[in-house]
Structures are given as structure tokens and as C-alpha cells.
Amino acid sequence: MTAVAIRQDRLRQFLALTKPRVVSLIVFTAVIGMFLASPALPPLHAVVFGTVGIALVAGAAAAINCLVEQKIDAVMARTRARPLPRGDLTSAQTLVFASIVGASGLAILYVMVNPLTMWLTLATFVGYAIVYTVLLKPATPQNIVIGGASGAMPPVLGWAAVANDVAPEALILFLIIFVWTPPHFWSLALYRAKEYAKAGLPMLPVTHGSAYTRLHILLYTAALIAVTLLPFAIRMSGYLYLVAAVVLGAVFVGYAVALLRRYSDALARRTFRYSIVYLAALFSALLLDHYWH
């Protein structure tokens, strides 16, 4: 392998630590928050530097998650190919990388955006990398519910980057993702239950069983439908968003009911994949409606 190929491979390993697919959804909802915070187009510098800063800190949080959970990742099929379990990177390298990337992101937010966004992003980092990963995940089956608060923060961060405040509308965006997170993650946990049990993690399907988890997926999905009507109820959005929310929600409920009645791993996988499409489509509808109505 040439020196250039070695460097490229090392860069790919560090990039893998940041969980690009997860971060892309985080950044997407943050950017939507930026546009919703402004009646017209938001300032370009806030969008550019806000996006870069939030993405860097989110990537650093993901790297810390990989560092803390490397032994757990080594026994799970979907994570054993990550750089740390494979021995491609060391713990020291990961810690230095996460520190540099995270500090750079926070500095960009503080200097180029505003201090409020920086402090909110730092709190989100601590909530995910420390509170969720270190304290909650190995301790309680409600880990994803409580820890979901960190995952629900990106649109609030985006809103703060543009408006320099946290308005009630931003909190509704937070609430949507907060309620969406349990049915999204538990769909994954259902068909990965044996792996979580092997890793010693008290995920809901492991501690309470499949039927209990599937019931709670349905209950949270029903609650999610109610929450997604709030933007229309407070006139934050119009009928375009309302129609999208109802249709997307009906499909999600259909998946949840099917899971409850006739479970299969394949159906759980489809539900998990749809939950990602659902959130992306819902926030896209909010954005389109924002400029349409």
C-alpha cells in the first residue's frame, strides 16, 4: 500500500468514528431549524458556520461514543467493523481526534455564530457523550427515552444559530424528535435484541420482551402523531404540512400496528428504515410549507 493510500485509509477510519450517516440526519434537522427561524432566507454566514460547527461537535460526540463503547461494539454484528474494535485506531488517537474536532466546532459556533448556540451545542455534546453513553445506556431500559433529549436538540441549535434565542416553535421541533426517537430506536432494538443481550445492555426488548416493546412503539407513535399536529395548531405551518404530517403519520402507525400483530425481524427493519424517511420527509414538509404558506 502506498503512502497516499495509507493516509486515505486513515482518513476514512477517522471519518467512520464520526458516524456520518447519523450526523447527516442531525445536520439536516439543524439546517431546517435555521430556515424555520427566519421569515425570509436566513443569513448565509449563520447557515454555513452554524452547520459546520454543529456537524463537527456532533462528529466528536459520535467519536466519544465509539471510544466508550468499543468493547460493546466488538460483540455486535453491526458495529464490530468500526475502527476501534478492529484495532485500526487506538483509544488515545480517538480521544485526541474527538477533542480537536469538538473544540474546533465549539470555537466556530462561539466566534462566528453566537455564544448561545455554542453553549446549547456543548450541553448537547455532554448529554449524548456522557449522560446517555456513559450513565444511562448501561443502566436503564429507558435510556433511549431520557437520552433522546440530546438527539432532539439539533433543530433547536439551528434555530438559535439564526435567531439567537429559543422560541416556542423551536421547542415543538425538539418535542417532535424527542417523541420520534423511542419508536425509531426500539424498532432497531427489536431485531438486534440478542446482540444487545450478549453485550449486556438493558435495552427494552431485552429487559421487558418483544411484545411489551412493540406495544410501546405503537403508543409512542400515536403520541408522535399528536405532537406533529402542534405546528399547525399554533399556526407555525399550514395545510401543506398538515396533510404531509397526517399521511406520513398514518403510514408510521400502520407499521407499528403490523409490528404488534405479526412481528418479524424483516418488518422491524422496514419500520426502522421508514422512521428515518418519516422524519426527513416531515421536516422537509415543514420547510416547504414555511415558504409556501
Residue 41 gets which letter from DSSP? P
Is 1.10.15 the CATH number for 168-293? no
pLDDT at residue 293 in the model: 64
CA distances from 74 to 83, 91, 205, 248 (A): 10, 14, 21, 36
Measured from the Cβ of residue 129, the count of other Cβ atoms closer than 10 Å reads 22
CB 231 within 8 A of CB 169: yes
Count of positions (residues) in the chain: 293
pLDDT at residue 202 in the model: 87
CB contact set of 236 (below 8 Å; sequence gap of 6+): 36, 169, 172, 230
Domain extents for the chain?
1-166, 168-293
**What is the third-level CATH fold of 1-166?**
Tetracycline Repressor; domain 2 (1.10.357)
pLDDT at residue 4 in the model: 64
pLDDT at residue 1 in the model: 61
pLDDT at residue 77 in the model: 73
Would you write out the chain's pLDDT as a tens digit for each of its 293 residues?
A: 676 667 777 888 999 889 999 899 999 999 999 999 998 899 999 999 999 999 999 999 999 988 988 888 787 777 777 888 888 889 999 999 999 999 999 999 999 999 999 999 999 999 888 888 777 777 788 778 877 888 899 999 999 999 999 999 999 999 999 999 999 999 999 999 888 888 788 889 999 999 999 999 999 999 999 999 999 999 999 999 999 999 999 999 999 999 999 999 999 999 999 999 999 999 999 999 998 86
Residue 142 gets which letter from DSSP? T
pLDDT at residue 3 in the model: 67
CB 179 within 8 A of CB 220: yes
pLDDT at residue 46 in the model: 96
Distance CA 205, CA 33 (A): 33
